[in-house]
Structure 1
Amino acid sequence: MKIGVIGLGSMGMGAAQSALRAGLDVTGVDTRDVARDAFVAAGGQAVASAAQLPQGINALVVLVVNAAQTEAALFGPEGALPRLAPGAVVISSATMGPEDARRIAARLEEAGMLALDAPVSGGAAKAATGEMTVMASGTAAAFDAAAPVLGAIATKVWRLGDAPGIGATVKVVHQLLAGVHIAVAAEAMALGIRAGADPQQLYDVVTSAAGNSWMFENRMARVLAADDAPRSAVDIFVKDLGLVAEMAKGLDFPVPLAAQAQQLFTAAHAMGQGQKDDGFVIRVWQAMTGIKLPGES
């Protein structure tokens, strides 16, 4: 089974390597030399554009940033569509709005391909170990065709319905929660620091009590370690909370907490922190109040 993975970033690299370990014939696609070299070093094949994929790809995972990049990767002048075998399955895993997911799926189906609307969660660590969560919708035929790949890259595959767009909807709602949780985790830690609490002790108390969340425990550990290397960058939540706002607007549905969180991530981006780890949205409070973060002079 010939597999293509477009986008060898923090999630795509893990997915590609997990598929490789499962014995699949995997070719990765990335414009960056360093990403291609890393995948080749892991035993895979890598090319610089989707148009260079081997002919007859049976399953294609698209793990790029957004809908526009997904469409370019599939249908653009250097797109993958001509390299796909008849009836191949495309596993579209970028975070995007449901209307975009439906439009892309319709174009694939018109071309005779199977489409799975399949955004993912779990971060770089879960991707690297083949333990992602997949929130997918599509036909039974698409799920069947994608099964070898999904089995290699994920430990939980949610089958959310037979219509593309449902997976994207669930992922957007998930990102609302994730973004708000990160922002409020940073706010709580910043408030504690400003009030004179020891950051490590504050962390230990919260993570052992009812106020804890997975995002507080995960992201504030990085703040304590002064480790702002991006596993998931601030700019991801500028984008994804924008998708929340867009979906909510179409439904005449208020999302005030998501809107406030997006403004905080946008402020961090404006401060030059867009490519830092998303927990370092805490630097917005640092800029406003002058607090000293752990490990920073």
Structure 2
Amino acid sequence: MTTADSLQQQEVSQMNSAQPYCGVIGLGSMGLGMARSLLRAGLPVWGHDVHKDVTAQFAEQTGQPLRPLAEQAARSDLLFIVVVNADQACEVLFGEQGIGKHLRPGSVVLLCATVAASRAREIAAHLAEQDVQMLDAPISGGAQRAAMGGLTIMASGPDSAFAAAEAGLDAVAAKVYRLGDQAGQGSQIKLVNQLLAGVHIAAAAEAMAYGIRQGCDAQALFEVISHSAGNSWMFENRVPHLLAGDYSPRSAVNIFVKDLGLVLDSAQQDVFPLPLTATAHQMFKQASASGFGREDDIAVAKIFPGIDLPSHRAEG
């Protein structure tokens, strides 16, 4: 199909009320996969990223013309916000150049960032003042599942927003959990997920470091544990990065500095103890302070002294 044919098909699809016009803000490892999943499902979609070359490349893939962000927002039925944190989401929507004021009444924002439940409620309330609905819809599954349209979404919000967003949710997710009609409920469950994910990664790093220090062959250690009771999804998913000496970020150390910090902050409000979370958080903070914050989260293993981790194996 030529670019002109693709453009014509996109414009026709947009005019079809059965096909919501979708936007994705944040074309990182997760957002780009989601945008491509929407496109693969036949939905008209545009994308935007702070890196202009990424935005331009995606527009070329879709055949969509590059339009001003405010104009794209005004045309959209569904807007996926796939940024790092609540501050970035608020800047996109309500900042000096924010697009929130350009959104059509009745359109739906899907907030996919990991944020505190209180911030999700604040953003939803602000959008409601403009007659825009919001689904508090944090995501889980990693870049590979995002690219396959196989994410898990933990969503809460009004029934009408779920109905309007059904086609978009079906395109990007294998499982959509409806967790209530109020913003904040989805985000709170995502924080529980991040608690477990962060603790499991920290535990996997500590276990591998301990085994290597005691003279175990790293590959053999991984093979045995991944088929034994001590295995976890994070151990099985992240340790291969360590074995390959490949710390290119799929999910970075700094993500868990942020997310476990959110977990601890929310628990502090209720004076609720989270000793394992606090320890894991300190491990990720130490890794970040040591210069590994932008590396893959299994780089937390680098904080352990006196061990030789596997180095990158150059191809060829």
Q: What TM-score comes out, normalization by structure 2 length?
A: 0.90
Q: CA deviation at 1:52?
A: 4.8
Equivalent residue runs for 1:1-297 within 5 Å: 1-43=20-62, 45=64, 50-53=69-72, 55-285=74-304, 289-295=305-311
**Gaps in structure 2 of 5+ consecutive residues:** 1-19
Cα gap change, 1:141 to 1:215, in 2 (>3 Å): same
Partners of 1:268 and 1:38 in 2: CA distance: 33
Q: CA deviation at 1:77?
A: 2.1
3-state DSSP of counterpart to 1:138: coil
**Percent identity for Structure 1 against Structure 2:** 51
3-state DSSP of counterpart to 1:23: coil
More strand by share: 1
Q: Report if the CA contact (8 A) 2:154-2:189 is conserved.
A: yes
Partners of 2:309 and 2:116 in 1: CA distance: 35
Q: Given residue 217 of structure 1, which amino acid in structure 2 is its aligned partner?
A: E
Partners of 1:199 and 1:249 in 2: CA distance: 38
Q: Report if the CA contact (8 A) 1:28-1:47 is conserved.
A: no
My pick for the range that moved more, 39-48 or 229-238, is 39-48
**Gaps in structure 1 of 5+ consecutive residues:** none
- How many matched pairs? 294
Kindly name which structure, 1 or 2, has the bigger radius of gyration based on alpha carbons. 2
3-state DSSP of counterpart to 1:90: strand
Query: Would you identify which runs of 4 or more consecutive aligned residues in structure 1 move more than 3 Å?
Result: 44-50
Q: What TM-score comes out, normalization by structure 1 length?
A: 0.95
Q: Given residue 231 of structure 2, which amino acid in structure 1 is its aligned partner?
A: N
Q: CA deviation at 1:271?
A: 1.0
Q: CA deviation at 1:46?
A: 7.5
Cα gap change, 1:136 to 1:188, in 2 (>3 Å): same
3-state DSSP of counterpart to 2:279: helix
Question: For 1:130-181, what per-residue CA distance to the aligned partner results, in whole angstroms no more than 9, with x for missing partners?
Answer: 1000000001001001111101000100000111100000001110000000
Question: For 1:214-272, what per-residue CA distance to the aligned partner results, in whole angstroms no more than 9, with x for missing partners?
Answer: 00011001100111110000000000000000110112110111111111111111111
